[in-house]
Structure 1
């Protein structure tokens, strides 16, 4: 008779959902909702806001003669098409896009100024910009123009000293790779591979993240993406996520890759310690905003085991998780923040633990 294999050791519990005290960094604040006379200031600097600005400039051009961008509505134009127009040279269409970019950068600089006045952002030395917008030519131009605006003499000293730069990971990877930082130090110590989920108002991404000892060199080695916003009616988002995870698990089995029995989830909204979502999930299906909805429990019910061990889920705000992917690159500053420009504008601010940021400017 074959000897009975020893029981698998029970992995340590991940931090509480939405925890602001992680092993290497403290989350000073996230999902801030700052208002002015126009409403929430963050609504002025999202991809949705850029499309609205573009539509407004096109309407002005049409009143003066004709719309140089043609018949396609602004919200239906692809990023590739807008990038092509923006780089097409000295044309009326390119100038129209440039005017929208310029006004957007004004608004983004204004939003940053308002955030920097919040107590949780005071002392921030660097802002990293994530989200799908920074992947486009128009997004990169807008970020550069915003950085230049913050350097002008009429800005407060804190804004003039601020560094503004894109995150290192691509838009499809940052919200997955950052999930490694949600694991307890014991699970990160030896390195390994894990499943991560990044839920947005338009897309959901699931991936396998491999990382080295201590959680270093996190990289997404397999990824599945679903544009749930294109589904007719309200898609069953949990069912879709579970389907993507099962595809990834099957691929890992074929490869002989052992996965940690943990799911790291980034989700819009304020994530409570019990795993419920308080506010900020307005772009997700309506049932997600009900008090009875509990995403970690739903995931555990559908994926009860990974590699023969009970599945554990740790969830945090999606902007926080995307920001955490930048942690290895922010060790030269003490305080930093992330803005994620997507369907909405996500925000989070961080303080590195003792020993990080010494000598930072």
Structure 2
């Protein structure tokens, strides 16, 4: 039994990866859609988008003997560059981007149709789209085009871009992992967003006095580490994460911010109640699925107290946490979900417990 299992979360707090959260029930998360060729969700990720772009570059070089992006490697072609080509590039280059968006949107719509056939996803009224691609005009067009394709097949579902910057939503959602009373008398909380390429830490201000439903919650400060570039082992990654959290606390102290004794974590994979990761963490540095590794326990050991109070650490799937940032605006529907287009395609389906 892990150390975290010996020290369960206090009464009133959800367990790690819990189905029942203060505002919603998590009907399912991290659903996998298998096909003979692999995982269907892999066709609707940022990796898939780049693969489509690479294929079109090869096609054009065969015909024109020229690559519109020159010798730039795939990872050097950013979303802003594609947005610029779409808006101000010559007609052929803009048409290229349009074609890539169309091809990706077709795949995205196919994935959504398959997802909606799953028992846990039936009856979904709205899907929030997050992840890195949502933060670009190209990504927004792909979402809009997929929505039109679904409506063309008479599939009644709303696809809406996530309201926050996706990089911030993954931390703001941590406010929904704890009962609101823990934030009373405090100015901020620590949040962690772990992804296949980056690890982010932040100080989130819940602003309960402004809005009791947490709709005014915002990111006060944050730090990002692109671990994919450094290729650390697991232990080095955890040490760096702890340093980032300690730096956030130092910044809060300098500004006289009272930090709640709570750390909310979004992490890829299926999160067990004891804080271990059953599967789905293959893109993280090292083996995070080991029976001997427990991230919440490691962070608690490093930061046992915050502001003189015992620290509570709660971890959930990263797509779940990003989706939770949208809870205040989902009151007009009962069943809704989130898809995060990143290194992979994260997903979660919720049922509101209030309203």
Tell me the TM-score normalised to structure 2 length: 0.92
What corresponds to 2:282 in structure 1? Answer: 282
Q: Which moved more, 1:205-214 or 1:261-270?
A: 205-214
User: How many angstroms does 1:301 deviate by?
Assistant: 1.4
Secondary structure class of the residue paired with 2:323: helix
What corresponds to 2:35 in structure 1? Answer: 36
What corresponds to 1:16 in structure 2? Answer: 15
What corresponds to 1:103 in structure 2? Answer: 103
Q: Distance in 1 between matches of 2:47 and 2:20?
A: 32
Please state if 1:196 is matched with 2:195: no
User: How many angstroms does 1:189 deviate by?
Assistant: 6.0
Deviations 1:88-144 (A, max 9, x none): 244322222221111000000000000000011101111101111111121111111
Secondary structure class of the residue paired with 1:127: strand
User: How many angstroms does 1:192 deviate by?
Assistant: 4.2
Equivalent residues of 1:29, 1:348 under 8 A apart = yes
Secondary structure class of the residue paired with 2:348: strand
Gaps of 5+ in 2: 1-8
Q: Which moved more, 1:232-241 or 1:169-178?
A: 232-241
Equivalent residues of 2:231, 2:285 under 8 A apart = no
Please state if 1:179 is matched with 2:168: no
User: How many angstroms does 1:13 deviate by?
Assistant: 5.2
User: How many angstroms does 1:275 deviate by?
Assistant: 0.3
What corresponds to 2:4 in structure 1? Answer: none
Equivalent residues of 1:180, 1:215 under 8 A apart = no
What corresponds to 1:328 in structure 2? Answer: 328
1:12–1:222 distance in 2 versus 1, CA, 3 Å: farther
Aligned Cα RMSD in Å? 1.8
User: How many angstroms does 1:233 deviate by?
Assistant: 4.7
What corresponds to 1:292 in structure 2? Answer: 292
User: How many angstroms does 1:190 deviate by?
Assistant: 6.4
What corresponds to 1:358 in structure 2? Answer: none
Q: Distance in 1 between matches of 2:338 and 2:75?
A: 25
Equivalent residues of 1:191, 1:212 under 8 A apart = no
Deviations 1:268-298 (A, max 9, x none): 0000000000111010022312221110111
Gaps of 5+ in 1: 1-9, 356-361
Secondary structure class of the residue paired with 1:14: coil
What corresponds to 2:162 in structure 1? Answer: 167
Secondary structure class of the residue paired with 2:350: strand
Tell me the TM-score normalised to structure 1 length: 0.90
Q: Which moved more, 1:67-76 or 1:27-36?
A: 67-76
Q: Equivalences for 1:114-193 in 2 at 5 Å? A: 114-152=114-152, 155=153, 157=154, 159=155, 161-188=156-183, 192-193=187-188
Secondary structure class of the residue paired with 1:151: helix
Secondary structure class of the residue paired with 1:277: coil
Aligned with 2:205 (options 210, 217, 223): 210
Deviations 1:198-236 (A, max 9, x none): 000111111111113345121111111111111145362
User: How many angstroms does 1:183 deviate by?
Assistant: 0.2
Q: Distance in 1 between matches of 2:341 and 2:95?
A: 23
User: How many angstroms does 1:79 deviate by?
Assistant: 2.1
What corresponds to 1:7 in structure 2? Answer: none
Please state if 1:257 is matched with 2:252: no
What corresponds to 2:5 in structure 1? Answer: none
Equivalent residues of 1:188, 1:215 under 8 A apart = no
Secondary structure class of the residue paired with 1:337: strand
What corresponds to 2:273 in structure 1? Answer: 273
What corresponds to 1:226 in structure 2? Answer: 225
